[in-house]
Amino acid sequence: MLENFIVALGNVFDPLSFFLMIVGLSAGIIVGALPGLTATMALAILVPFTFTMPPTTALMVLGGVYVGAIYGGCIAAILINTPGTPSSIATTFDGYPLTKKGKAEHALVAAAYSSSVGGLIGAVILLLFSPLLANVALKFGPPEYFWLAIFGLTIIATLASKSIIKGLIGGALGLLLGTIGISPIGGDMRFTFGFHQLQAGLQLIVALIGLFCIPEIFNMVERTADKAKINIYKSQKGVAWSVIKELSSKPMLLFRSAIIGAFVGIVPGAGGNIAALVSYNEAIRFSKKPEEFGTGIIEGVAAAEASNNSEVAGSLVPLLTLGIPGAAPAAVLLGALMLQGLRPGPELYTVFGEITYTFLISLIFANIALFFLGFYGSRYVARVINISPSYLAPLVVFMCVIGSYSIRNNMLDVYIMVLFGLIGYITRKLGYPPGPIVLGLILGSIAENGLVQAMLMGKASGNTLAMFFTRPISLVLIVMCIISALWPFISDKRQKKIEAMKKRQEGETHVN
The pLDDT tens digits of the residues spanning 402-448 come to 878 877 778 888 999 899 999 989 988 888 877 788 778 877 888 88
Residue-wise pLDDT for 32-72, tens only, equals 877 667 788 888 888 888 878 888 999 999 999 999 988 88
Residue 373 has pLDDT above 50, yes or no: yes
Confidence band, pLDDT 50/70/90 cuts, at residue 20: very high
pLDDT of residue 217: 80
What would the mean pLDDT of 486-505 be, rounded to a whole number? 72
Surface-to-core class of residue 511, CB atoms within 10 Å of its CB (0-12 exposed, 13-18 middle, 19+ buried): exposed
Q: How confident is the model at residue 227 (pLDDT cuts 50, 70, 90)?
A: very low
**Structural element, H or E, at residue 35:** none
- Secondary element (H or E) of residue 420: helix 411-429
Of the two residues 24 and 170, the one the predictor is more confident about is: 24
- pLDDT for 1: 63
pLDDT digits (tens, 9 = 90+) for 114-169: 999 999 998 988 888 878 776 776 677 889 888 888 887 877 765 555 677 887 88
Q: Specify the pLDDT at position 228.
A: 47
Spatial distance between the Cα atoms of 42 and 9, rounded to a whole number of angstroms? 27
HSE of 358, CA atoms in CB hemisphere, 13 A = 23
Instruction: Find all residues with CB under 8 Å of 504, minimum gap 6, and list them.
Output: none
Confidence of residue 223 (pLDDT cuts 50, 70, 90): low
Alpha-carbon span 157 to 166, nearest angstrom: 9
User: What's the pLDDT at 255?
Assistant: 92
Distance, C-alpha 424 to centroid of its chain: 18
- φ/ψ (deg, to 5) at 228: -55, 135
Q: Which residues pair with 182 in a beta bridge?
A: 189
| Torsion sign over Cα 402, 405, 407, 413 | positive
Backbone angles phi, psi at 13, to 5 degrees: -90, 10
Of 196-205, 227-236, 237-246, 316-325, minimum mean pLDDT range:
227-236
Q: What is the pLDDT of residue 120?
A: 92
Q: How far apart, in whole angstroms, are the C-alpha atoms of residue 284 and residue 291?
A: 8
Look at residue 304 and tell me whether its pLDDT is greater than 80.
Answer: yes
For residue 355, the one-letter residue type is I
pLDDT reported for residue 383:
62
Task: Give the C-alpha distances (Å, rounded to integers) separating 86 from 127, 163, 227, 426, 485.
Answer: 26, 19, 21, 21, 24
Per-chain mean pLDDT for the chain? 81
- How crowded is the C-beta side of 282, counted as CA atoms within 13 Å? 21
> Which residue would you say has higher pLDDT here, 266 or 477?
477
Of 292, 305, 298, nearest to 83 by C-alpha is: 305
Dihedral, CA of residue 180, residue 185, residue 186 and residue 190, to nearest 10: -10
Kindly indicate the confidence band of residue 233, based on its pLDDT and cuts at 50, 70 and 90.
low
Rg (CA), the chain: 23
pLDDT tens digits along 175-204 = 898 888 888 777 788 888 888 878 878 887
Share of the chain above pLDDT 90, in %: 11
pLDDT band at 15 (very low <50, low <70, confident <90, very high): very high
Whether the pLDDT of residue 388 is over 50: the answer is yes
Cα–Cα distance, 444 to 228 (Å, whole number)? 44
Please report the pLDDT score of residue 387 as a whole number: 66
